[in-house]
Amino acid sequence: MASSPVCTRPLALILISHLQRVAMASLTAKSLVARPGVRPFTSRRTCVAPMAALSQDELKQQAAWKAVDYVKSGMVVGLGTGSTAAFAVDRIGQLMKEGTLKDIVGVPTSIRTYEQAKSLGIPLATLDEQPKIDVAIDGADEVDPKLDVVKGRGGALLREKMVEMASAKFVCIVDDTKLVEGLGGSKLAMPVEIVQFCHKYTLNRLAALPEVAGCQAKLRMEGDKPYVTDNSNYIVDLYFETPIQDSQAASKAILALDGVVDHGLFLDMVDVCIIAGSNGVEVKERQ
């Protein structure tokens, strides 16, 4: 007796469905494999309800407010510089005014942040007075998968690095436009702070370093004059067409040059990175 065609179609559908589930499971497993060379970190995401697309400033504020959760009463807090960090400073000032946070001492990373924090009534100190900082909150210009970052396009990189190196925990806050596969990958500036003396000589030596081969070195200008940092130094901005091959090697080579004060590569420094995107806020913690 011929087999009935009625049972053939459902069986085929069952087989197709099973194969689809197997394929999806395989893809999921592959996506969970850690990328080579990436230091381990944990990640968790705080989802937000569907809403109209958020502006970049709204995303920055989300990340900044989440970062302030790490601040507790009685702490010494490093106050970063830049548009994202400014939201965190505002939030700390607001919570102090409400009485939610008490006995906070802020250590600002620039004259600009000093003036903002002072206007909000946040008690301030320097590293001379508070050499040990509980937590620092600051933005970044680029963040790679290892949580290494580029900072300093706002010109405050030296003071930022000093304060964040003195902190028990460095919380970095960004929106998802700052994510790159490798530092220098945004093709925007990686700053190097240099002394004013013979700055052209130092610029040319920076551009000639094999560790940053292919970069363009440009003196940062403010109008028709060189930009001057809070420390009375100049900045040379390095621009890369492709990501830096070896950030550690580039860091050492740049710092070895006479006339260089510091650079915007912040390597192995970030403890927590808070990333705000259209799907919510993601928190990555270095282990």
Q: Can you tell me the distance from the alpha carbon of 179 to that of 233, in angstroms, rounded to the nearest whole number?
A: 29
Looking at the chain, how many residues does it have? 287
Among residues 48, 83, 85, 44, the alpha carbon closest in space to that of 64 is found at 85
User: In this structure, are strands 105-108 and 280-286 parallel, antiparallel, or unpaired?
Assistant: unpaired
User: Contact, 130 vs 76, CB < 8 A?
Assistant: yes
- Of residues 71, 73, 112, 114, the one with CA closest to residue 91: 71
First-residue to last-residue Cα distance in the chain: 67
For residue 175, list its beta bridge partners: 276
For residue 64, what is the DSSP state?
A: H
Are 46 and 66 spatial neighbours (Cβ–Cβ below 8 Å)? yes
Nearest-10 crossing angle of helices 83-98, 56-68? 50
Give the chain's radius of gyration (CA, Å): 24
Residue (of 144, 146, 142) closest to 34 by Cα position? 146
Distance CA 94, CA 11 (A): 64
The reply to whether 160 belongs to the active site is yes
The rounded Cα 183 to chain-centroid distance in angstroms is 11
**Which listed residue (98, 129, 160, 222) is catalytic?**
160
User: Strand 190-194 relative to strand 234-239: parallel, antiparallel, unpaired?
Assistant: antiparallel
From the CB of residue 177, how many other CB atoms can be counted at a distance below 10 Å? 14
Task: Show which residues are catalytic.
Answer: 160
